[in-house]
Amino acid sequence: MPAAGAILPVILLALAAVLMNVAWYYHLKQPSLGLLAAIGLAWGIALVEYCLAVPANRIGIAHFSLAELKTIQEVLSLAGFVVVAWVLFGQAPGPSQLAGFALIAGGAFMIFKSPLG
């Protein structure tokens, strides 16, 4: 079981992942929004995301290696994408996407377990 201090960075990274995916894709639901306004909206959301991600990494480095932190961030980014795509766009992941995510999860397992030394 992870130390209590190791949970906070994961929670912060999960929230950051959802916000970043919202920043990347929400403007697509606003096609009448001008490009500069869409960029401004995305940057505003991304600023909040960075306010979560930076502390998550600063706290997390005491509990995880840099490769582990990046792996956590990437896995959570994909999970956040699935949530945003499903909730905001009604696009549930299909079998191919789920298989791809399973392969990525296998790669994440390799990072954390390092069975190859």
Q: Tell me: pLDDT of 3 over 90.
A: no
Q: What residues does each domain of the chain span?
A: 4-113
Give the model's pLDDT for residue 113.
Answer: 79
Give the model's pLDDT for residue 117.
Answer: 57
Give the model's pLDDT for residue 2.
Answer: 61
Q: Which residues contact 55 (CB under 8 A, 6 or more apart)?
A: 12
Q: Give the tens place of pLDDT for each residue, 101-115.
A: 899 988 888 888 766
d(CA 2, CA 63): 9
Q: With H, G, I as helix, E, B as strand and everything else as coil, classify residue 74.
A: helix
Give the model's pLDDT for residue 116.
Answer: 66
Q: Give the tens place of pLDDT for each residue, 46-64.
A: 999 999 999 999 999 999 9
In contact, 93 and 101? CB cutoff 8 Å: yes
Q: How many CB atoms within 10 Å of residue 2? A: 9
Give the model's pLDDT for residue 1.
Answer: 52
Q: How many CB atoms within 10 Å of residue 105? A: 12
pTM, 2 dp: 0.86
